[in-house]
Amino acid sequence: MLNIAVLVSGGGTNLQALIDAQNRGEIPNGHISLVIASKPDAYALKRAEKAGIPTAVLRRKQFSSQEAYDDALLQKLAENRTSLVILAGFLTIISNRVIHAYENQILNIHPSLIPSFCGEGYYGLRVHEEALRRGVKVTGATVHFVNEVCDGGPIILQKAVAVQSGDTPEVLQRRVMEQAEWKLLPKAAALFCAGRLVVKDGRVEIKEEAE
């Protein structure tokens, strides 16, 4: 059973999707054992507490340097014996030091079909605003491993979502969450915990399930 740490900044809807999937037995080889928030008023903390999951708050501005923040984050992850880190709407920068410490062990969910509408500055509603501005007919979500390039790590899973006439950024955001994000993230976590994700030449191969 692998320990999973989920890093959050806001409402925690993706965290809730992971908790619900775990409760349904859909992540049989993993267990959410820690939730770390970037601010003390993140509603995601209440979701974790309701589910009986230990929590911690690490505010970047409380640390004198990125190195000091990294030390605290890495210590929390080590104390938790973390095997998988999931970024579920985490808005604090993850440094290369942390990325290297957990190479191919950090998952992120992005609300578009990477490489569209991703990279620096593309998060939250802006992703959906840009999709609508460009007039795309299909958008979606992507789960990928985190590397040094923003939204540039190896892609694990993607799911397409139709853009509908009259969509607002908020309506589209909700549809992408419901139809893609909340399904992909638990599935990717389950695949990782089952040892079925292999990174080779910058790409992810999903191994067949053992008989």
Q: What is the pLDDT of residue 93?
A: 85
Mean pLDDT of 37-61: 97
Backbone angles phi, psi at 64, to 5 degrees: -70, -20
Across all residues in the chain, what is the average pLDDT?
Answer: 96
**pTM exceeds 0.85, yes or no:** yes
CATH number of 2-206: 3.40.50.170
> For the segment 66-94, what is each residue's pLDDT rounded down to a tens digit?
999 999 999 999 999 999 999 998 988 89
Q: What is the DSSP letter of 38?
A: S
> For the segment 169-199, what is each residue's pLDDT rounded down to a tens digit?
999 999 999 999 999 999 999 999 999 999 9
Active site residues: 110
> For the segment 104-160, what is each residue's pLDDT rounded down to a tens digit?
999 999 999 999 999 998 989 999 999 999 999 999 999 999 999 999 999 999 999
